A = this chain, B = another copy of it.
Amino acid sequence: MSFELSLNTGTTPNLTLEEAVEAVATSGLKHIGPWRHLLEQAGGAEKAAALIAGAGLTATTLCRGGFLTPADHQGRRAALESNRAAIREAAMIGTAELIMVVGGLPAAAHLLAGSGGAAQKMSADKDILGARGRVAEGLAELVPYAAEHGVRLVLEPLHPMYAADRAVLSTLGEALDLAAPHPAETVGVVVDTFHVWWDPQLREMIARAGAEQRIASYQVCDFNLPLAADALKSRGMMGDGYVDFPTISRWVAEAGYTGPVEVEIFNQAINDQDAATTLETMTQRYEQLVLPALRGSVPALDAPVR
Segment with Cβ contacts to B, from A48-56, A88-96, A145-153, A160-168: A160-168
Among B160, B177, B302, point to the contact of A198 (Cβ < 8 A).
Answer: B160
Q: A107 at interface (Cβ–Cβ under 8 A)?
A: yes
Chain B residues whose C-beta falls within 8 Å of the C-beta of A125 in the assembled complex: 301-302
Segment with Cβ contacts to B, from A16-24, A225-233, A253-261, A279-287: A225-233
Segment with Cβ contacts to B, from A179-187, A210-218, A242-250: A242-250
* Total contacting residues, chain A, CB less than 8 A: 43
Chain B residues whose C-beta falls within 8 Å of the C-beta of A5 in the assembled complex: none
Segment with Cβ contacts to B, from A34-42, A58-66, A74-82, A126-134: A126-134
Q: In the bound complex, how far is the Cα of B268 from the Cα of A108, in angstroms?
A: 21
Chain B residues whose C-beta falls within 8 Å of the C-beta of A160 in the assembled complex: 159-161, 198-199
Q: A111 at interface (Cβ–Cβ under 8 A)?
A: yes
Q: A223 at interface (Cβ–Cβ under 8 A)?
A: yes
- Decide if B226 touches A199 in the complex (CB within 8 Å): no
Instruction: Report the nearest B residue to A163, measured CB to CB.
Output: B198
Q: In the bound complex, how far is the Cα of B202 from the Cα of A132, in angstroms?
A: 14
- Decide if A244 touches B161 in the complex (CB within 8 Å): no
Q: A8 at interface (Cβ–Cβ under 8 A)?
A: no
Q: In the bound complex, how far is the Cα of B128 from the Cα of A243, in angstroms?
A: 9
Chain B residues whose C-beta falls within 8 Å of the C-beta of A229 in the assembled complex: 229
Instruction: Report the nearest B residue to A126, measured CB to CB.
Output: B244
- Decide if A164 touches B225 in the complex (CB within 8 Å): yes
Q: In the bound complex, how far is the Cα of B157 from the Cα of A226, in angstroms?
A: 20
Q: A170 at interface (Cβ–Cβ under 8 A)?
A: yes
Q: A197 at interface (Cβ–Cβ under 8 A)?
A: yes
Among B163, B168, B301, point to the contact of A126 (Cβ < 8 A).
Answer: B301
A259-286 contacts to B (CB < 8 Å): none
Q: A70 at interface (Cβ–Cβ under 8 A)?
A: no
Q: A171 at interface (Cβ–Cβ under 8 A)?
A: yes
Among B108, B128, B197, B231, point to the contact of A197 (Cβ < 8 A).
Answer: B128
Task: Please indicate which of the listed interface residues A105, A177, A244 has the most CB atoms of chain B within 10 Å of its own CB.
Answer: A244
Q: In the bound complex, how far is the Cα of B132 from the Cα of A169, in angstroms?
A: 25
Among B111, B128, B159, B304, point to the contact of A244 (Cβ < 8 A).
Answer: B128
- Decide if B161 touches A173 in the complex (CB within 8 Å): no
Q: A124 at interface (Cβ–Cβ under 8 A)?
A: yes
Instruction: Report the nearest B residue to A111, measured CB to CB.
Output: B225
Instruction: Report the nearest B residue to A300, measured CB to CB.
Output: B124
Among B159, B200, B226, B303, point to the contact of A111 (Cβ < 8 A).
Answer: B226
- Decide if A129 touches B247 in the complex (CB within 8 Å): yes
